Structure 1
Amino acid sequence: MPAHASATEGPAGWAGVDRSRRLSLRYFNFFRLLLAGIFVGGGQSFGLGGEHPFAYEIASFGYLAAVLSLGFPDAVRRLGLERVILLLILADVLGLSVIMWASGGYRSGMPVLMMVVLAGTGLLAEGRMVLFFAALATLSVLLENAWRFAAGGQPGDFLQVGIFCTGFFGIAIVSRRLALRAQVNALLAAERGQALARQQAVNERIIRDMHDGVIVVGVDGRALQINPQAAMLLGVSRLEGRLLAEVDPVFEEALARGDGLGPRVLRLGPAGRLMRCRTVRSEAGGATGEILIYLTDFEDVERQMQQLKLAALGRLTASMAHEIRNPLSAVTQAAELLCEEKRADMQARLARIINDNAHRIERMIRDVLALGRREHAVPEALPLAAFAAEVIDARVLTDETERAVYALDIGAGFTLGIDRAHLHQILDNLLANARRYCSGQPGSVRLYAEPLAGGRVALHVADDGPGIDAATRSHLFEPFFTTHAKGTGLGLYIARELAEANDAELELHGEGPGADFVLTGRSRP
């Protein structure tokens, strides 16, 4: 019987047939076989075939023979699925009709079995064939009852028969609609499954080819998945299923931290390679689920950074040579004129030109030397309120009128993890720019701080000046760009470099009147 055939692989006749129809036909054939066996083996004990025993036996054995001959997969291969379904349902309707006639009419219960058969037909047949079989069952029941009425039956039997016939069509239509909906849902599920498989294949390819290493770690600290780049960075050939703590004890600390403290630069693996390690908990796993570890070759990053530094240093050197040439030319020319000039007032003016340009060159060299000190940052948790007050005191000395220009509004609890000398130079530069462009009224330069997420703090230096236009904003932090006649153009550039050396950021916020420079960093180093 077809029940012994595989549910997923069948003979050649099943090619192109969806799995749901195959399973439905197999289960339906089981029901037919069970029903035919009851008719043959014990039907008469249930009161079947009482009016015409010989006709009942012929119909029972014929129905059993039809089920056996058409139920094997070989019949589908020889005749095709649609023909087999058609012949089986015809055998159902004709066999049950003859048994009904031989067993006393609709009271034998055969119309109820016909309803079951029509319900199964809705799952198997295509298109209008379902209504055809419902009409065929209706016709057979009506003809049997008409024959019985002609032989002296009751007219009221037609009401019962009509109810059964109405049920035939109702069940056939409903079962067919359900089958169509099931097919649509199955097709949609298959399409989504294919789309998901394609997306998964793309994701796997991206993870396999990405430059960063990716490790998926289970709750027990074992590596569940790893891409080839991670294995290469760690210098191991096989990592799946192993405890990461066995590969390197540093992983145990990284896993315990989760994603609470951000990325760290660590030496990992047997080779002790310097890597940037970032751990993130899987959103699907929850607080106790899988952890994703991202590994970046920091040695490669440092090489790239070094190349960028060398390129920037080359541009900086060329720019410095050009910038220093102008004041040197002025110094040289003024010195030559000074030797020839006899008037005291002109000599004083030329000396002042020489002095101003010499100081300009000195400031430029001092600023460039500050770039070399960015690599030697020693961050500490500096109290912002007290430190900013010290910087302001150094600028104003004892001039109370000048002191009133600066409004300090920083809470006592704010701290910033940064190198002391670097923060002094950054603040001094920002305050000098703000004082240069502000109105000069009391409180025209404001210093205030605000807390940010992740233990970070933002220090604002804002003024009430005319602000910075869009064209200037795009070049604001470029070296040697300045809008001031006596400026070197290195102040903001060096201030941002020093901020980045301390894992901080210096940006210009807002687009309205006045400038608002914001230094953002961690409250602790």
Structure 2
Amino acid sequence: MPRPTTQGYYASHWRSLDYFNLYRLTLAVALVFTGLLFDASDLFRAGSSERFQAFAYAYLLIAALFVLGIRARWPGFQIQLTAHITADIVLVMLMMSTSERLAGGMGLLLAISIASGGLVGSGRLTLLYAAMASIAVLLQHAFSILGGSQRMDSFFQVGLLCAGYFAIGWLAHALTRRALQSETLAQRQADELALLNRINALAIENSPDGLLAVRGDGVVRHASPRALALLGIAAPLVPGVTRLADCAPELARALSQQCGPRTAHTLSTQAAQLRIRCIPLATPDDSRVLVLEDQSQAEQAAQRLKLAALGRLTANIAHEIRNPLSAISQAAQLLREDTHDPAQAKLTTIIENNTRRLDRLVEEVLTLNRRDRLNPVGFEGATLAALIDELRQTEEIPADAVIVSMSDTARFQFDPDHLRQIVWNLLRNAWRFCRKQAGSIHIRLLTQSDAAQLEIRDDGPGLTPEHQGRLFEPFFTTDAQGTGLGLFLARELAEANHAVLAYVPGTDGACFRLSVHGRE
């Protein structure tokens, strides 16, 4: 059970007081043995040896009681210290009165008590203890002179002893003040270091990058939970024991080639594609810190920054574009109605096609900026089939070109405007790249576990592997007439509804799957 603390004093103060009292116990035992050993000698005055032994036993008893007070830390520290010094002065003076031969030597014992009191009590009341000891010594010597056992010229020796008390008290006061300042500074620095360690621990625990500290001999000193997750390590590591080659052999082999602050390695794990930076710590054991960066997160962060800048730009200019765009479109229509020249009619058609393309681009950008405005409703197979049929008619796709199969048990929540935009983009792309034959587009709604999956597949040429990785990038398109925002917008709207839109490789043609979690 921890001992109670005292305001203004550290545990080291109580420990020092405990040591001081241990010295007192030892001294009291020695004095008891002295009284027993020299009981019949002429060391004491006639009939005073019994009084000396009584005072020595009382001194030993009081020192033993002080142990209980120190253990309980009650009463307060300064009260106990003052009681200790007072007991030393009173009992030593009483024992000095029993023998003139012991008086001088025992007077020096008070110098030890004064110095110890100053050191233990951090310099507080040290001069008061010196004054108390001086007054006691002077009184005892005065009584000895009145009793005829001492002469008047011995006051000089007693005066030097009292001056020594004050000198020792002042020196103890100065030294303990400096020691207390150093201790206070050390405690403050220790608290700041502990706070810094807690901050560092929180920063490491919440860092998006994984951090590994490895010794030069390959032993792992520290591994953050994020690093273990990125490396796919499920077993717990024992810092200072587990070797990197045992838990992550591929990483150990990569680092064995070269490690420096300007070198970076790449590593593919089941969890992520990693970029690894090695930072030497310049320690005797050649320790280094490995920073594991998830490249997919870095790419997503860069894309979010790019999209944020794009959103700010387009939000400001989209409305300004639409007005002159509408005027250009109307002017082109009027020119086509007033002219009979085929060349001019072709030029006006080009103008109208491009104005429609720009208008669609503006509409997609504005839709992207409104992706967080959700109003989810319940959907089922029949409702979704009706939406697909409506969009098919809008795009003028023949009915026999689209095969729709819907699960009767499929239920999910989605914003209707967002779902319309996603399905419209996917259906329009499928029709653009398919063979435009009967059954070229196959749409089906499935249920799997707790998710509803909508798949739209066409019988077109599909996508090359290099294009698959860039499908959902903004402004990436393989069609000269496309805006490059359709699939990107569809994925953003899906994520806004807590759904996932992905390309399904390994199929004939192109296949996209919309997975909606959390069935209704």
Tell me the TM-score normalised to structure 2 length. Answer: 0.52
* Matching of residue 119 in structure 1 with residue 115 in structure 2: yes
Question: Is it true that 1:266 corresponds to 2:258 in the alignment?
Answer: no
Q: Secondary structure of 1:153's partner?
A: coil
Contact 1:13–1:78 (CA<8 Å) still a contact in 2?
Answer: no
Q: Counterparts of 1:421-460 in structure 2 under 5 Å?
A: none
How many angstroms apart in 1 are the aligned matches of 2:303 and 2:50? 102
Aligned equivalents of 2:208 and 2:154: distance in 1?
Answer: 82
Mapping of residues 121-160 of structure 1, within 5 Å: 121-125=117-121, 129-150=125-146, 151=148, 153-160=150-157
State the 1:126 CA deviation.
7.0
Higher mean displacement: 245-254 or 199-208: 245-254
Deviates more, 1:238-247 or 1:298-307: 298-307
- Report the secondary structure of 1:236's partner residue: coil
Hey, what does 1:250 align to over in structure 2?
250
Q: Please tell me the residue identity of whatever aligns with 2:28.
A: A
Q: How far apart are the structure 1 equivalents of 2:310 and 2:141?
A: 106
User: 1:118·1:134 contact (CA, 8 Å) conserved in 2?
Assistant: yes
The DSSP-based 3-state class of the residue aligned with 2:278 is strand
1:54 maps to: 50
- CA drift of 1:294 comes to 0.9
1:28 aligns with 2:11: no
Name the amino acid aligned to 1:104. Answer: E
Shift of 1:252: 2.6
What residue is the counterpart of 1:163 in the other structure?
Answer: 160
Paired residue for 1:68? 64
Q: CA deviation at 1:310?
A: 9.7
Other-structure match for 2:277: 278
Alignment map for 1:357-506 (pairs within 5 Å): none
Q: Secondary structure at the match of 1:221?
A: coil
**Contact residue 280 and residue 293 of structure 1 kept, 8 A:** yes
Normalised by the length of structure 1, the TM-score is 0.52
Q: 1:312 to 1:188 in 2, by over 3 A?
A: closer
Task: Give the structure 1 partner of residue 200 of structure 2.
Answer: 203
Kindly state the Cα deviation for residue 14 of structure 1 after the two structures are TM-superposed: 5.4
Q: How far did residue 83 of structure 1 move?
A: 3.0
CA contact 1:219–1:289 (8 Å) conserved in 2: yes
Corresponding residue number in structure 2 for 1:98: 94
| Partner residue in 2 for 1:476 | none
Q: 1:18: Cα distance to partner?
A: 1.7
Letter in structure 2 aligned against 1:243: R
Contact 1:13 1:80 in 2 (8 A): no
Query: Matches of 2:150 and 2:210 in 1, distance apart?
Result: 86
Aligned-pair identity in percent equals 28
Pick closer, same or farther for the CA change 1:100–1:48 going to 2, 3 Å.
Answer: farther
1:24 and 1:42 map into 2 onto residues whose CA distance is 27
CA distance in 1, matches of 2:150, 2:306: 108
| In structure 2, C-alpha distance between the alignment counterparts of 1:206 and 1:301, rounded to whole Å | 18
SS of residue matched to 2:97: helix
Amino acid at match of 1:112: L
The answer to whether structure 1 residue 237 and structure 2 residue 234 are counterparts is yes
Q: How far is 1:42 from its partner?
A: 2.5
Q: Paired residue for 1:181?
A: 178
1:10-38 superposed Cα distances (whole Å, 9 cap, x missing partner)? 2x585764212201111111111111111
**Whole-Å separation in 2 of the counterparts to 1:308 and 1:78:** 64
Q: Distance in 1 between matches of 2:149 and 2:261?
A: 95
What CA distance in whole angstroms lies between the structure 2 residues aligned with 1:79 and 1:311? 67
Aligned to 2:427: none
Range with bigger deviation, 301-310 or 249-258: 301-310
Mapped partners of 1:66, 1:48: distance in 2: 28
Structure 1 residue 217 corresponds to structure 2 residue 209: no
Q: Deviations over 1:462-486 (max 9, x none)?
A: xxxxxxxxxxxxxxxxxxxxxxxxx
Deviation at 1:212, TM superposition (A): 1.4
Q: Deviations over 1:71-93 (max 9, x none)?
A: 31378566443333222221110
Pick closer, same or farther for the CA change 1:282–1:38 going to 2, 3 Å: same
Tell me if the contact between 2:35 and 2:52 (Cα under 8 Å) persists in the aligned partners: no
Is the Cα contact below 8 Å between 2:232 and 2:271 reproduced in 1?
Answer: no
Q: Output the CA distance in 1 between the equivalents of 2:106 and 2:173.
A: 22
The equivalent residue for 1:40 is 32
Residues 267 and 131 (structure 1 numbering): CA distance in 2 closer, same or farther, change over 3 Å?
closer
Q: Distance in 2 between matches of 1:85 and 1:245?
A: 59
Are positions 1:298 and 2:295 aligned together? yes
- In the superposition, relative to structure 1, how do residues 103 and 304 fare at CA in structure 2: closer, same or farther (>3 Å)? closer
1:160 Cα deviation from its structure 2 partner: 1.8
- Spell out, residue by residue over 1:262-296, the C-alpha distance to the aligned partner (whole angstroms, 9 max, x if none): 33342344x1732111111113x14x421111111
The size of the alignment, in residue pairs, is 306
User: 2:327 — aligned with what?
Assistant: none
TM-fit CA distance, 1:158: 2.1
Query: Structure 2: which 5+ residue stretches go unaligned?
Result: 318-520
Q: Indicate how the Cα distance of structure 1 residues 144 and 235 shifts in structure 2: closer, same or farther if over 3 A, else same.
A: same
In structure 2, distance between residues paired with 1:147 and 1:113: 20
Q: What SS class does the counterpart of residue 279 from structure 1 fall into?
A: strand
Q: Say if 1:54 and 1:255 are closer, same or farther in 2 by CA, change over 3 A.
A: same
> Which consecutive residues of structure 1, in runs of 5 or more, have no partner in the other structure?
1-5, 319-525
Q: Please state how far the C-alpha of 1:58 moved relative to its aligned partner.
A: 2.5
Rounded Cα–Cα distance in structure 2 between residues aligned with 1:124 and 1:261: 51
Deviation at 1:54, TM superposition (A): 3.0
8 A Cα contact 1:213 1:229, kept in partner: yes
Which residue identity is paired with 1:254? A
Q: Per-residue CA shift, 1:455-508, capped at 9, x if unaligned?
A: xxxxxxxxxxxxxxxxxxxxxxxxxxxxxxxxxxxxxxxxxxxxxxxxxxxxxx
Secondary structure of the structure 2 residue equivalent to 1:240? coil
1:328-363 superposed Cα distances (whole Å, 9 cap, x missing partner): xxxxxxxxxxxxxxxxxxxxxxxxxxxxxxxxxxxx
